[in-house]
């Protein structure tokens, strides 16, 4: 692949302006792919953030639930039924509801005073949500009537809660506001983060939850969390759970046998391990919404833009050097040598364009992360994936552009 004279590099270097434009173009395509893939992964990661932080081994949800934002309720007695199963240590309910939050520090129009927020109701006796800031002390605080915990990573539209909270804390005062027209007090802050489905989060006790959502009945829960006994086998316990639930056992026929072990339906209950609980949510956003598709399409567009840019650059380059290439052929160079030059140029361009594109994307990730509270980070996997895409992009362009090399006919230049 290497020659004593690196002609590909020397040719690129000689045309500085063109090289600069090529790098800018490829860098842009790389940046676009990073943006699209980054947002897609951020969406999926934000959507499963709560799922990852639920402390439990087996989850029960209604068969009618698709995702957290449209979660359906089921009777808590189903969860009690599972308590007797071999291997089960503890059970705990989670109530999920969405209500309008009133910004207590509203600055007036045109900003809206209210915004929909997610409210989780838990049993204060159980350590069921393991997020930073929500400890045993927090759980005892939410026992008090109308006391809630607020997610400090919620979007700014809910008001400057975190700043005001620490300011008022010094004066021993607390922030009071309204959720779904119920007066509540912010007893503390925890850290989870906004998602595409929920712009902000709060946690309170099940009693307070039912005070806010007056139309919800006690025992009408959304997620049943099951904890295993120390050393209990997950799959044996799943079998026991299966037997303890009434109704017919069915599995989704599209699942593989190993997936079906961790995701099955008994009667009106869907039984999931924590792993598949996360996976189901991710798959919902990925496959059942337009969002996953849109970002994938965006990546494809970035890829195609890159191909066109690199093709234009390589085509112009080959055209400019056509007489030189014909001369090389007349000197006895094989066609293969010229093809190698074009592909080497493509490879050099892809790597030189990748570097600024990647750096720019890192800055954009940091900026977006600070502005939107979405978990946008430059992962190794994604940087390798985009590098791979960038190289593929340039090689495809190279493969189209080399056809022009065939035009370098030495019989014509004589």
Which residue ranges make up the site for another protein (CB under 8 A)?
A: 3-5, 7, 10-11, 13-14, 321, 323-324, 326-334, 410-411, 413-414
**Contacts with 412 (C-beta within 8 Å, 6 or more apart), sequence order:** 326
Burial 380-403 (b: 16+ CB within 10 A, else e): eebeeebbebbbebbebbbbebbe
Ramachandran quadrant class, 180 (left: phi over 0; alpha: psi -120 to 50; beta: rest): left
Which among 37, 22, 34 is positioned nearest to 353, based on CA atoms? 22
Nearest distance in Å: CB 14, another protein: 4
- With respect to another protein, which residue has the nearer C-beta, 133 or 410? 410
CB of 396 to another protein, least distance (A): 25
d(CA 407, CA 404): 5
Residue with Cβ nearer another protein (377 or 413): 413
> Hey, is 113 helix, strand or coil?
coil
Distance CA 160, CA 200 (A): 13
Residue among 414, 274, 387, 399 at smallest CA distance from 342: 399
* C-beta of 71 vs 328, nearer to another protein: 328
Instruction: Quote the least distance from Cβ 370 to another protein, whole Å.
Output: 45
The 3-state DSSP class for residue 289 equals coil
* Residue 324 CB, nearest approach to another protein (Å): 5
**Closest distance of CB 4 from another protein, Å:** 4
Q: How far is the CB of 303 from another protein (least distance, A)?
A: 29
Q: Which is nearer to another protein, 290 or 331 (CB)?
A: 331
- 1 vs 5, beta carbon nearer another protein: 5
Name which of 13 and 64 has its Cβ closer to another protein: 13
Q: Which tokens go with 252?
A: 């989704």
Give the residue from 336, 313, 307 showing the smallest Cα distance to 395: 307
């Amino acid at each position: 692949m290497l020659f004593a004279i690196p002609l590909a590099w020397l040719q690129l270097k000689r045309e500085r302006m063109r090289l600069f434009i090529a790098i800018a173009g490829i860098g842009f395509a790389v940046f676009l792919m990073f943006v699209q893939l980054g947002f897609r992964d951020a969406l999926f990661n934000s959507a499963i953030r709560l799922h990852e932080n639920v402390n439990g081994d087996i989850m029960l949800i209604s068969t009618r639930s698709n995702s957290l934002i449209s979660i359906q309720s089921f009777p808590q007695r189903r969860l009690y039924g599972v308590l007797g199963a071999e291997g089960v240590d503890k059970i705990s309910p989670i109530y999920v509801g969405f209500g309008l939050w009133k910004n207590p520090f509203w600055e007036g129009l045109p900003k809206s005073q209210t915004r929909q927020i997610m409210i989780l109701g838990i049993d204060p006796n159980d350590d069921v949500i393991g997020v930073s800031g929500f400890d045993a002390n927090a759980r005892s605080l939410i026992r008090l009537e109308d006391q809630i915990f607020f997610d400090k990573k919620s979007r700014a539209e809910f008001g400057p809660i975190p700043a005001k909270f620490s300011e008022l804390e010094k004066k021993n005062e607390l922030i009071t506001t309204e959720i779904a027209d119920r007066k509540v007090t912010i007893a503390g802050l925890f850290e989870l983060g906004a998602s595409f489905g929920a712009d902000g989060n709060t946690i309170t006790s099940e009693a307070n939850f039912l005070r806010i959502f007056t139309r919800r009945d006690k025992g009408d829960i959304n997620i049943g969390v099951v904890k295993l006994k120390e050393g209990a086998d997950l799959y044996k316990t799943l079998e026991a759970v299966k037997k303890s639930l009434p109704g017919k056992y069915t599995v989704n026929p599209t699942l593989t046998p190993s997936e079906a072990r961790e995701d099955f339906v008994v009667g009106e209950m869907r039984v999931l391990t924590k792993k598949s609980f996360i996976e189901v949510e991710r798959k919902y956003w990925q496959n059942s919404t337009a969002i996953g598709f849109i970002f994938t399409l965006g990546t494809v567009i970035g890829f195609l833009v890159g191909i066109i840019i690199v093709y234009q650059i390589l085509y112009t380059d080959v055209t400019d050097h056509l007489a030189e290439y014909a001369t090389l052929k007349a000197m006895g160079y094989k066609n293969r040598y010229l093809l190698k030059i074009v592909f080497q140029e493509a490879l050099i361009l892809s790597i030189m364009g990748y570097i600024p594109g990647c750096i720019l994307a890192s800055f954009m990730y940091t900026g977006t992360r600070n502005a939107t509270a979405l978990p946008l980070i430059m992962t190794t996997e994604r940087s390798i994936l985009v590098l791979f895409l960038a190289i593929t992009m340039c090689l495809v362009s190279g493969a189209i552009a080399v056809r022009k090399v065939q035009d370098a006919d030495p019989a014509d230049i004589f």
